[in-house]
Amino acid sequence: MSNFSSDDDVIVLKEKLQQSQLVFRDLALKSRREATILKRLISRLIAASQAHDDPLLNERLSQIRRELDSQEDVSRLIPQLALVERMVNRHNQATERARDSLECQFQQSGETLKCLPGLPAQLKRDLRTLLTSPAAEQKGSTEKIVALLQLYERALKLLSLPSNGLSARDLLNIDRINQLCSELQHLITELDFDGEVGDRLLDIRSRLLLSPDAQTLLELTLESVQLILDGTRNERKASQAFLSQLNEDLSVLQRHNGRSIDSSQAIATQRSSLNEELAASVDSIHTHLQDAESLEELRPNLSQVAVNLASLVARNRELEEREQQLMEQLQHNEQKLEALYQQTMDYRRRLGDQERKLLLDPLTKVYNRAALDDRLEHEYRCWIRYQTPFCLAMIDIDHFKSVNDQYGHLVGDKVLKVVARTIHQCLRDTDFIARFGGEEFVVLLPDADEETRKALLNNVRETVSRLPFKFKDTRLTITVSIGGSLFKDNDSTVDVLERADNALYNAKHNGRNKLVWA
Ligand SMILES: Nc1nc2c(ncn2[C@@H]2O[C@H](COP(=O)(O)OP(=O)(O)OP(=O)(O)O)[C@@H](O)[C@H]2O)c(=O)[nH]1
């Protein structure tokens, strides 16, 4: 019985031994696999640390790998791995700091490039998009740094290499010249001279649209100044002529009036002496009637009185004639005064018209920038007071330069007029539109909720794109890009204009014919 039991024990022990051996083999296998994985990981870490040029970490990792090669028990390496972990942490913090400084440098370099004079407009737009795009907000992103470097390279190529026979300095100036051209062109648009001066200024404006070189721009500027001087001189002369004519007419009237007053006084004196003489004649008749005893005695006296009375009647007629002449003179003076009054009213109306014209863009007949400044200020004050949603949007015609280039600037002008009118027609009575620059308009939408402003601006965009332009049998589709922004928090008008402008650039960048909100 006891033998049987010890045999059983042996069998059980043997089974347990076999099981333990199996477990041990599994563990050994697992441990070898872990060691292999660990070795691979360490090798990768070594490669990474070499890339980051950290000799201390590199040395520590190489030592762990050597020890991994020489001993099976991975757990003995744990303290060293903990040390490596601390080093990696420190390394991460240093990398984070480096990324921050890279980010700072990125923004700084972007701003420096932005301020470089003479950069082409497209490059400036690309730079602005890069600096404001969501990708730019990812810290240390390699793509954005590469993109910035590419922009630097483009700028360098454009600014430093002479091309098309132009010197680097010329290239630098071209952008500035274009800018000056469009500013001068804009100023001329705001002027309002009649006659030859007006026609010649319009001619200069057309020539400015043909991208003149620096020399021509200078000549056109000089010519414009000369014309403005002439125009101002003419206007001053016309005003002086009007005033001196008015003055002369008034002094003639004054002289006539003086004479009328003199003759009216003389008439009054004569009439009173006539009356006195008449009264004396009546008195003498009475006296003669009382004194005379017979008709015969009365006769000579009465005939003398009759002669006196006849003379009085004749003088009275004469007086009446002079009174009649005086009346006619007074009527004439009154008519002259009325004519002068009408003349000054006309002049006042013309001045009023000119004042109104000063607020209108002569080409498109929508408001100009001066009017926009006034209205924006007014609406801004209303917004501060009532806090109802106030939206400002910038609308720019897409690829307008190519319309001018392909069909000529007269067609370009026509497009501008029709687009301005169309935008105006899409707005509500309380909204406002002004021409902001060449092919750019600003609209103000006070008190417009989200649905209204979206519907309104999208309607502007769609209506313009459906306009049936046709030139030389070619159908021409004109589209606009729109950047919209709402007033919020402590915004100034400049903040909102800038935001709308950025949104407009995004709309252009994202394919045009788009409405983008800031
Ligand atoms: N006909 C005409 N052209 C004008 C007037 N004012 C500005 N322009 C022209 O408008 C063009 C504007 O060109 P860009 O600023 O390059 O813009 P764009 O071609 O519209 O291109 P995107 O705005 O990028 O879509 C220039 O060629 C100006 O000469 C104007 O009153 N009449």
Q: Catalytic amino acids?
A: 439
> What is the Cα–Cα distance from 140 to 129, expressed in whole angstroms?
17
Q: In angstroms, what CA-CA distances link 408 with 11, 187, 270, 403, 470? A: 108, 21, 82, 7, 14
Let me know if 483 is exposed, middle or buried by CB neighbors in 10 A (0-12, 13-18, 19+). Answer: buried
Domain of residue 512, residue span: 369-517
Distance (Å) from CA 412 to ligand 1 centroid: 9
Instruction: Identify the domain boundary among 245, 266, 283.
Output: 245
Ligand 1 site, residue 259, Cβ cutoff 6 A: no
Question: Does residue 1 have a pLDDT over 50?
Answer: no
Mean pLDDT is lowest, of 16-30, 264-278, 367-381, 504-518, for: 16-30
**Model confidence over 414-472: pLDDT tens digits?**
999 999 999 999 999 999 999 998 899 999 999 999 999 999 999 999 999 999 998 87
Q: What is the pLDDT of residue 52?
A: 65
Distance (Å) from CA 403 to ligand 1 centroid: 8
Q: In angstroms, what CA-CA distances link 262 with 166, 232, 317? A: 84, 45, 19
| 397 and 331 fall within a common domain | no
Nearest C-alpha neighbor of 392 from the set 412, 408, 372, 410: 372
**Strand ordering across the sheet containing 515-517:** 432-437, 440-446, 390-397, 480-486, 515-517
> What is the Cα–Cα distance from 446 to 444, expressed in whole angstroms?
6
Ligand 1 site, residue 129, Cβ cutoff 6 A: no
Q: What is the pLDDT of residue 297?
A: 86
Ligand 1: which residue has its CA nearest to atom 11?
401
For 443, phi then psi, to 5°, come to: -120, 145
Ligand 1 site, residue 205, Cβ cutoff 6 A: no
Q: Is 53 left (phi over 0), alpha (psi -120 to 50) or beta?
A: left
Coil vs helix vs strand at 484: strand
Distance (Å) from CA 130 to ligand 1 centroid: 24
> What is the Cα–Cα distance from 84 to 431, expressed in whole angstroms?
67
Give the angle 349-359-227 at the CA atoms, nearest 5°.
85
- Residue 139 in any domain: the answer is no
- Distant-in-sequence, close-in-space partners of 69: CB < 8 Å, separation ≥ 6: 39
Identify the CATH number of the domain in which residue 503 sits.
3.30.70.270
> What is the Cα–Cα distance from 87 to 56, expressed in whole angstroms?
9
| 237 and 256 fall within a common domain | no
| 441 and 391 fall within a common domain | yes
Of 439, 441, 482, 506, the residue with max ligand 1 atoms within 8 A of its CB, to mutate for a pocket test, comes to 439
Question: Does residue 172 have a pLDDT over 80?
Answer: no
474 against 53, higher pLDDT: 474
Mean pLDDT, residues 57-82 taken together: 77
Instruction: Identify the domain boundary among 54, 72, 90.
Output: 72
- Residue 94 in any domain: the answer is no
pTM of the predicted model over 0.95? no
Of 401, 402, 480, the residue with max ligand 1 atoms within 8 A of its CB, to mutate for a pocket test, comes to 401
Instruction: Identify the domain boundary among 43, 72, 101.
Output: 72
> What is the Cα–Cα distance from 130 to 431, expressed in whole angstroms?
34
Contact 333, 325 (CB under 8 A): no
**Model confidence over 292-307: pLDDT tens digits?**
888 888 888 889 889 9
**Model confidence over 272-283: pLDDT tens digits?**
999 999 999 999
**Model confidence over 330-387: pLDDT tens digits?**
999 899 899 999 989 998 898 888 788 788 988 899 999 989 999 999 999 999 998 9
Q: What is the pLDDT of residue 435?
A: 95
Ligand 1 site, residue 478, Cβ cutoff 6 A: no
Distance (Å) from CA 221 to ligand 1 centroid: 20
| 377 and 498 fall within a common domain | yes
Ligand 1 site, residue 446, Cβ cutoff 6 A: no
Strand ranges (E), 329-447: 390-397, 432-437, 440-446
| 509 and 415 fall within a common domain | yes
Mean pLDDT, residues 172-184 taken together: 80
- Residue 433 in any domain: the answer is yes
ipTM of the complex as predicted: 0.97
Residue with tokens 């620059």: 437
| 234 and 261 fall within a common domain | no
- Residue 235 in any domain: the answer is yes
> What is the Cα–Cα distance from 480 to 418, expressed in whole angstroms?
13
Question: Does residue 164 have a pLDDT over 90?
Answer: no
Q: What is the pLDDT of residue 454?
A: 96
Q: What is the mean pLDDT of the chain?
A: 86
- Residue 287 in any domain: the answer is yes
Question: Does residue 140 have a pLDDT over 70?
Answer: no
| 286 and 226 fall within a common domain | no
| 412 and 509 fall within a common domain | yes
Q: How many domains does the chain have?
A: 4
- What sign for the dihedral angle of Cα 185, 191, 193, 197? negative
- Residue 422 in any domain: the answer is yes
49 against 413, higher pLDDT: 413
Q: What is the pLDDT of residue 43?
A: 80
| 262 and 347 fall within a common domain | yes
Distance (Å) from CA 133 to ligand 1 centroid: 25
- How does residue 166 score in pLDDT terms, banded at 50, 70 and 90? low
Question: Does residue 174 have a pLDDT over 80?
Answer: no
Contact 424, 433 (CB under 8 A): yes
